[in-house]
Amino acid sequence: LLETSLNEFQKLGDIWGEGFVLSLLTRFYMLSEGKGKEHVETRQKRIALARKSGDRYSLANALSGQAMNHIFHGEWDQADVALREAEQLLVEADLSMGNGQTQMWRAFLFVGRGELEKGKFELVSYIDWGNRVGEKNMQSLAVYVLGLVAEMEGDLQSALAYSQKSVGLSREIGSQG
């Protein structure tokens, strides 16, 4: 169904519709076992379309997703390049929600590189932002990652406290976490 929609948008020359369907396909392929090649190809098409359309938010969102994928594969330098471009686009467009998302991935990047203090700073900043705007879903993840960092540092009491706070936030929003 998604591929049919994609073909229809391509026939119409609707690059925004095509980009939207590509974002859905990217997520589908990311979650599907054995679809790694399709995931990368679809993400690259989505980035190219976003560049062509001039839609800074769509491009920043696609680049942020690309950065997340690089982070999950330990490709720190590639993640950093994608995050820098996404952050610049979001600043230009004055989109704080997107900035929050890139801040979360930047924190993961720092933690992955072993730069725990920088990672903690980004996570705490993200949590503060989440408190201001009322966002709790990703905030729960940020608190959880703070717990993982505390555990890496050998502070098991703080790790437990962060984990409990993360579960509490998840329960507030009805998550099964």
pLDDT of residue 111: 92
- Note the pLDDT of residue 177: 46
Q: Which of 100, 113, 95 is nearest to 141 (CA)?
A: 100
State the CB neighbour count (10 A cutoff) for residue 29. 18
- Please, are residues 99 and 90 in contact by the beta-carbon 8 Å criterion? yes
Q: 115 by DSSP, 3-state: which?
A: coil
**Look-up of token digits 């990703």:** 138
Q: Residue 161: its pLDDT value, please?
A: 95
> Rounded to an integer, what distance in angstroms lies between the CA atom of residue 41 and that of residue 101?
23
| CA–CA dist 126, 120 (Å, integer) | 10
Judge if pTM exceeds 0.85.
no
Measured from the Cβ of residue 10, the count of other Cβ atoms closer than 10 Å reads 13
pLDDT digits (tens), the chain, 177 positions: 556 776 777 788 777 676 666 665 666 555 555 566 776 787 888 888 888 888 888 889 889 888 988 888 889 999 999 999 999 998 888 766 566 778 888 999 999 999 999 999 999 998 998 888 888 888 888 999 999 999 999 999 999 999 999 999 888 887 554
DSSP label of 102:
H
Sign of CA dihedral 2, 73, 117, 146: positive
H and E: helices and strands count for the chain: 9, 0
CB-facing half-sphere around the CA of 57: CA atoms within 13 A: 8
